[in-house]
Chain A
């Protein structure tokens, strides 16, 4: 009995320490959110949303406009390349071309500051673009293309093969079939990929510091020789400001950033849940973590927390049903 008691104790110790680990994960989340929101709210002025940055303080209007413009540009450039890449990898890529997918995944591991440095040396200095919108958009696009590619590929792989077979049986042209029966059902996944890309472009600092520079007025639409203000700069440049107005600006910018990111997370969840509610073939949702779910693995087209999905090996067939 003594041995059994010891085993029970060991069991309890192990799960207690796992619960402690869970607490260690939740505490920083709550601490960060609480710290940033409380600081931001106590410093908040509504006029920050309507005035440009000025001297040692001012507002965030120029940065909000700049960040929106940069993010829009990134979505256009990286969205085009990334969605096209994902589509090709899922639909056309002959087997054995792992290097294309591998290169995309490896590109996602390149530190953002390295991209910023190369963008600065090659685009800003060597090509004489100066601090410019185009340089920032290109560098950020390189950073987010792998995410969009991956999410697009996974989303398209999750479209049942039966859709294609049905389309072909009806004699659809391959382009029409691709648009209506492959890309359309995969749209929620593709949109989620774009949202991840938007969240990254809103939150990045290092690649932008030396490519778009900073400008205290709203952005012009010129592609080169056009420095642009952005939100993360206001945090990075003013958090140690000697002026209370500067530090206030940093706190406000941090609050706006957090709100942006939370909004994007909520929107991506909405996209996923709406698409599941209205999908023609409503997927049987087995509660996460309940035991039977693991006996018969259900493909999860729902992206996980960090831009991948749980099931990569899934090759387009729904489980037998």
Chain B
């Protein structure tokens, strides 16, 4: 982190030392406001951990290894097991959600990272200023369009297109061997992991492309020109000088995009098929992610009078929060260590 010169302390003393003068009150008020995000983060973690505690106790360590989602018999009297009151038969497992979250985010990054880097390279190195400003406008639109609108488009247009015209090209011809088997099978109606991944790719693309573009603009020109003077082609100079110069920054931008993809809710909830209890059979199968499950299951969870269902949703929210925070902090540390550019704060216009 680069901090500016400490201007406050160098000021001559205020004209009055009375505490109610604006000169002395304003910095204090500003200081309080500055602590708000830190306090909120701590409160957030504390609230989630407190609410999730019964579920953590009940679901145990096997929570992330099971494929089951059953609120139990809500019409029977509540029983107590493992110290937690719960409806008889309640059983939860988050394996499908974890697989769905990681799988769709992985598809998103596999698609968005090369496209983002390629776009940034061509914008910085080749395009005339007017055109690259136009691409910047495209990035702003893509970052600014509400996720529910992207979800609507994906549900009506992208999903059917992917399943009927893209996935169907290879789905029947992929060999039936262990890993590739996941690409086989009926391509469905467009609600599933592939569509969710592509939608997420579209949504994290502006983050990766814009950050990489800003990083590339900071590469010292002389070094690249030196490489060209030594006889390298543009592509070789890019590969040997430009990309290594900003590599950590690109990794940071990608991890920031990953954090965004892991936490995206509404667009995924609209195209994922919303299946919580079982693993998808193929890349095209219905599934759900942690974030989408919270939004789609919270209503129903309140029918569980013992509170275990809500607590379980809080537990997966806590897991999601911890993972995204780790990604965010990691990305920022990585970038601060090597680049003068800091990462932007997520999504906006």
Q: A residues bordering B, Cβ < 8 Å?
A: 7-8, 10-11, 13-15, 17-22, 24-26, 28-29, 31-33, 35-36, 39, 80-81, 84-85, 87-96, 98-118, 120-122, 142, 145-147, 149-150, 157, 161, 164, 168, 173-175, 178, 195-197, 199-200, 202-206, 209-210, 232, 235-236, 239-240, 250-251, 254, 257-258, 261-262, 264-265, 268, 287-295, 297, 304-313, 315-316
Closest 6 CB pairs of A and B: A308-B344, A111-B263, A21-B118, A203-B146, A109-B328, A84-B33
Query: In the complex, what residue of chain A is closest to B33 when comparing beta carbons?
Result: A84
Contact of B341 among A111, A288, A293, A311 (CB under 8 A): A311
Instruction: For chain B, residues 180 to 204, give those with C-beta under 8 angstroms from any C-beta of chain A.
Output: 202
Contact A205 B346, beta carbon cutoff 8 Å = no
Contact with A along B8-41 (1 / 0, CB 8 A): 1101101100000011001101110111111011
Residue interface bits B252-263, CB-to-A below 8 A is 1, else 0: 000010011011
The answer to whether A258 touches B344 (Cβ under 8 A) is no
Q: Which residues in B have their C-beta under 8 angstroms from that of A232?
A: 146, 148, 266
Chain A residues with CB below 8 A from B321, complex form: 110-111, 114
Cα distance, A109 to B3, chains bound together (Å): 22
Contact B37 A109, beta carbon cutoff 8 Å: no
Given contacts A15-B122, A114-B263, are A92 and B23 in contact (CB under 8 A)?
no
Specify which chain A residues have a CB less than 8 angstroms from the CB of B128 in the assembled complex: 289
With contacts A11-B234, A92-B31, A264-B349 taken as known, whether A142 is within 8 angstroms of B328 at the C-beta atoms is: no
A312 (CB) vs chain B CBs: closest residue: B342
Can you list 7 A-B contacts with CB-CB less than 8 angstroms, sorted by A residue number?
A: A21-B114, A31-B158, A95-B3, A98-B3, A106-B329, A206-B266, A295-B220
Partner of B150, one of A32, A204, A250, A264: A32
What's the least CB distance linking A160 to chain B, in Å?
12
B214 interfacial by beta-carbon distance below 8 Å: yes
Pairwise interchain contact B144-A84, C-beta atoms closer than 8 A: no
Choose among A35, A288, A291 the residue that contacts B157 (Cβ–Cβ < 8 A): A35
**How many B residues touch A, CB cutoff 8 Å?**
128
Q: Quick one: closest A residue to B140, CB to CB?
A: A305
Cα distance, A210 to B265, chains bound together (Å): 13
Please report whether the interface of chain B is mostly helix, strand, loop or mixed according to DSSP: helix
CB of B113, distance to nearest CB on chain A (Å): 10
**Contact between chains at A88 and B340 (CB < 8 Å):** no
Q: Would B234 and A111 count as touching, CB distance under 8 A?
A: no
Given contacts A36-B153, A113-B295, A117-B298, contact A7 B340 (CB under 8 A): no
**In the docked arrangement, what's the CA distance between A315 and B321, Å?**
32
Contact with A along B263-275 (1 / 0, CB 8 A): 1111000100000
Looking at the assembled complex, report how far the CB atom of A185 sits from the nearest CB atom of chain B, in whole angstroms.
15
Q: Cβ of A26 and Cβ of B135 under 8 Å apart?
A: yes
Determine whether the beta carbon of A11 is less than 8 Å from that of B153: no
CB distance from B280 to the nearest CB of A (A): 21
- Whether A117 pairs with B152 at a CB distance below 8 angstroms is no
CB distance from A95 to the nearest CB of B (A): 5
A113 to B138, CA, bound (A): 26
Assess whether B346 is in contact with A307, with CB atoms less than 8 Å apart.
Answer: yes
Pick the contact of B345: A20, A295, A305, A307 (CB < 8 A). Answer: A307
A21 pairs with B325, CB closer than 8 A:
no
Q: Residue of A at shortest CB range from B141? A: A29
Known A146-B346, A316-B7; 18 more pairs at CB < 8 Å:
A13-B235, A21-B117, A85-B30, A91-B30, A99-B38, A103-B38, A105-B345, A109-B327, A110-B325, A117-B317, A121-B310, A121-B314, A164-B7, A178-B26, A293-B217, A306-B211, A306-B349, A315-B3
Distance A179 CA – B256 CA, assembled complex (angstroms): 35
Nearest CB in chain B to that of A175: its residue: B22
A14 to chain B, nearest CB (A): 4
Q: Cβ of B346 and Cβ of A109 under 8 Å apart?
A: yes
Q: Are B347 and A307 in contact (CB under 8 A)?
A: yes
Q: Does chain A have a CB within 8 A of B178? A: no
